Amino acid sequence: MEEHSPLAQFEIKKLIEIPLGGIDASFTNSSLWMMISIILATAFLTLSMRGRAMVPGRWQSMAELVYEFVANMLRDNVGSGGRRYFPFIFTLFVFILFNNSLGMVPYSFTPTSHIIVTFAMAVVVFIGVTIIGFIKNGTGFLKLFVPSGVPWFLLIILVPIEVISYFVRPISLSVRLFANMMAGHTMLKVFGGFVVSLGLLAGWAPLLFIIALTGMEIGIAMLQAYVFTVLSCLYLHDALHPGH
């Protein structure tokens, strides 16, 4: 083990330096792993659907499973008019899923463990949803901030709360994904360090724990991809049907 700090795995390394005006647009290990996950996701979906068989094979049914999963999620959470946004939601889900899952491969890098990556995605969702809300409902979208059936003196307190909670959304959305990824990977590394330092005598206990933790981390990788997309769906629902 050459790196002893459990946080060393999150270090950004420049692979190709690209100074773009005053901006550092270098190609980093984070960009590399995002690209790998895009390439793998594209390859998985296009290659497995190449046959287009009526009775799907293993790969095709896996691709169809992902498609159906997202389609169901969109139908249940967005409802009417959500179908148009399927490509975006599907891309979001597959991108996060592949990034999270590839992070479980030893020696890999997890871009979603950086808050700037998850925050960028959350902000895209946030701005997009706000624009859609105003396009679809005009100023009626502002009804979202005024809960119905509440006396006026409570509105004075509730409206600021609703407005703040709307602007907190992209932050809670990004923090949730990033914190999960970072905490899990740090834990794995910390317990990995225990195994090495306790050696052959007592290292078995943390090793067993790591095995359980790895399984849980794989589950969390999928769960958090789901949570991120399902919340995006809920926000989209709010934008399409404000005023509950």
Partner 1 sequence: MSGPRKDRDHAGKQEADSAPPDDEQRVFLQEREALKALDARLKKAREHESDPFGDRLNPARRPDSAQAMAWRISVEIVVALGVCGFIGWWLDKWFDTKPWLMVVFLLLGFGVGIRNVYRIGRDAMDEGTDGDGRE
Q: Which is nearer to partner 1, 34 or 70 (CB)?
A: 70
Q: Comparing C-alpha atoms, which of 101, 107, 102, 76 is closest to residue 89?
A: 76
In whole angstroms, the minimum distance from the beta carbon of 35 to partner 1 comes to 28
Q: CA angle, corner 236, sides to 230 and 242, nearest 5? A: 130
Residues near partner 1 (CB under 8 A): 65, 68-70, 72-73, 76-77, 79, 157-158, 160-162, 164-165, 167-168, 171-172, 175-176, 179-180, 222-224, 226-227, 230-231, 237, 241, 244
Minimum distance, C-beta of residue 223 to partner 1, in the bound complex (Å): 6
CB of 220 to partner 1, least distance (A): 8
Closest approach of partner 1 to the CB of residue 212, in Å: 15
Name the residue nearer to partner 1 (CB basis): 28 or 77: 77
> Which CB sits closer to partner 1, 74 or 117?
74
What angle is formed at CA 166 by the lines to CA 162 and CA 229, rounded to 5 degrees? 135
Distance in Å, CB of 12 to partner 1, minimum: 24
| Residue 36 or 230 with smaller CB distance to partner 1 | 230
Nearer to partner 1, 25 or 154 (CB): 154
